[in-house]
Structure 1
Amino acid sequence: MSRSTLLLLADGRFPAGGHAHSGGAEAAVRAGRVYDAASLEEFCRGRLHTVGLVGAALAAAAALGGDPVALDGAADARTPSPALRGASRRLGRQLLRAARAVWPRGEELYGALAREFPKGAHQAVVLGVVARGAGLGAGDAAHCAAYDAVSGVASATVRLLSLDPFEASGVVARLAGEVDRVAERGVEAGGAVVVSGEGVDALPAGGSPLLEIGGEAHTVSGGRLFAS
């Protein structure tokens, strides 16, 4: 495993489209649920242990060589909101595009995924395939997914609330141990799917109804800063 490769894939500046999305933070700010560093931390914690865990497990399973079609279907089933499903697929498409330029050695994997999902697979599934193509493991993919569940939200909130960047980074730092544990749980679930042969039913299915409702409301709101 190359640490530099892992750092590049997890970097918010990697051109995978994440900078245009708030992970539900914009809708939460508008609804008054996120308004300072403390409320941001609780929002991030909830997101981490629901959609973050699901994403970590999907990414780990894909990195282990799980069937991307079955995993994509499982991601669909765990994302009730059409708006959030669309956002996930757009992010997956952009991530795959970036990976094909940056880590061309994985082109066989990327090409097969692109042919199967011409309009984009779910972001977490693509993340696992990209990690595998870049020479990373299931744990790396799970960590990227879990970390992204909180880091992107914290960055977006700096713009949304004019929050002190030091405070936003402090939120992510305080959640670091939980991010690690969620990634570990994701690897366990991914291993159950692929290695133990339990199938996609072994994936976690933690939901976050307010994120789903906020995602739908966000699509029809005016003056948005972020796509989701």
Structure 2
Amino acid sequence: MSRAALLVLADGRFPAGGHAHSGGAEAAVKAGRITSAADLEDFCRGRVHTAGLVAAALAAAAALGADPRELDAAADARTPSPALRAAARRLGRQLMRAARATWPSGELDLVARHFPKGAHQPVVLGLAARSAGLGPEDAAYCAAYESVGGPATATVRLLSLDPFEATGVLARLAPELDRVVDTAVAAARRVAAEGTDALPAASGPLLETGAEWHAGWPVRLFAS
């Protein structure tokens, strides 16, 4: 296992397309739910325990070798919003392109052929981690951190928030990310015996409804 590979995968410069997505932050800012660093912290805390937990478990299960087709179906079932499902597949397609160029593998090639329009991003993230020689904890950490790192970066742009404050939010949330990853990996390890029903299905209704509202805007800064 190369922890340097984890740094490459988690690097914001990795060309996986995440910079174009706010993780629901743009809709939350517009609705007045994020106006400060304190609001951002509350938003990110809710997001990591819902969407972040689900994504981390899916990524960990993929890294452990669970069937990506079953995981993709599980991701669909846990994403009620059509706009979020479409965004997850666009991100998955872009991540797949980057992963195949960086860590070529027959497994990635097979999944890319099966999902020409993209599998869900957390599933591809787990497969990319597996191809890079990383483990389920690494994949889960990438997914959990992305679930809050993206909104924090987006809010700096959307509100002209002090980037030092946004980084402070992420640092304060680190212990909670650790707990989310532990829960996600434990669930992922049960998939072999129990199937994808073992994976968490935490819900963030405001993220789902906000995504549908955001998708209808004629002008927006972020894709989702």
Instruction: Please tell me the TM-score bracket, short chain as reference.
Output: over 0.9
Provide the rounded CA distance (Å) in 2 between the counterparts of 1:142 and 1:86.
22
Provide the rounded CA distance (Å) in 2 between the counterparts of 1:14 and 1:180.
23
1:193 maps to which of 191, 194, 206: 191
Q: Sequence identity of aligned pairs in percent? A: 71
Displacement of 1:99 in angstroms is: 0.7
Which residue of the partner structure matches residue 21 of structure 1? 21
1:51 aligned onto 2:47: no
Provide the rounded CA distance (Å) in 1 between the counterparts of 2:131 and 2:2.
12
Displacement of 1:222 in angstroms is: 2.9
Give deviations 1:36-72, integer Å, cap 9, x for gaps: 0000000000000001000010000000000111100
How many equivalent pairs are there?
A: 224
Displacement of 1:12 in angstroms is: 1.5
Which residue of the partner structure matches residue 164 of structure 1? 162
**What pairs with 1:1-228 in structure 2 (closer than 5 Å)?**
1-104=1-104, 107-194=105-192, 197-228=193-224
Q: Which runs of 4+ in 1 moved over 6 A?
A: none
Displacement of 1:110 in angstroms is: 0.6
Which secondary structure does the structure 1 equivalent of 2:194 belong to? coil
Displacement of 1:223 in angstroms is: 2.3
Provide the rounded CA distance (Å) in 2 between the counterparts of 1:180 and 1:9.
18
Any stretches of 5+ residues in structure 1 without a counterpart? none
Q: Is the 8 A contact 1:29 1:35 kept in 2?
A: yes
Displacement of 1:14 in angstroms is: 0.9
Provide the rounded CA distance (Å) in 1 between the counterparts of 2:152 and 2:197.
31
Displacement of 1:180 in angstroms is: 1.2
When normalised by structure 1's length, the TM-score is 0.97
Provide the rounded CA distance (Å) in 2 between the counterparts of 1:176 and 1:6.
17
Provide the rounded CA distance (Å) in 2 between the counterparts of 1:200 and 1:29.
34
Which secondary structure does the structure 2 equivalent of 1:119 belong to? coil
Root-mean-square deviation over aligned CA pairs = 0.7
Q: Is the 8 A contact 1:10 1:144 kept in 2?
A: yes
Which letter maps to 1:77?
A
Displacement of 1:2 in angstroms is: 1.2
Any stretches of 5+ residues in structure 2 without a counterpart? none
When normalised by structure 2's length, the TM-score is 0.99
Provide the rounded CA distance (Å) in 2 between the counterparts of 1:154 and 1:12.
12
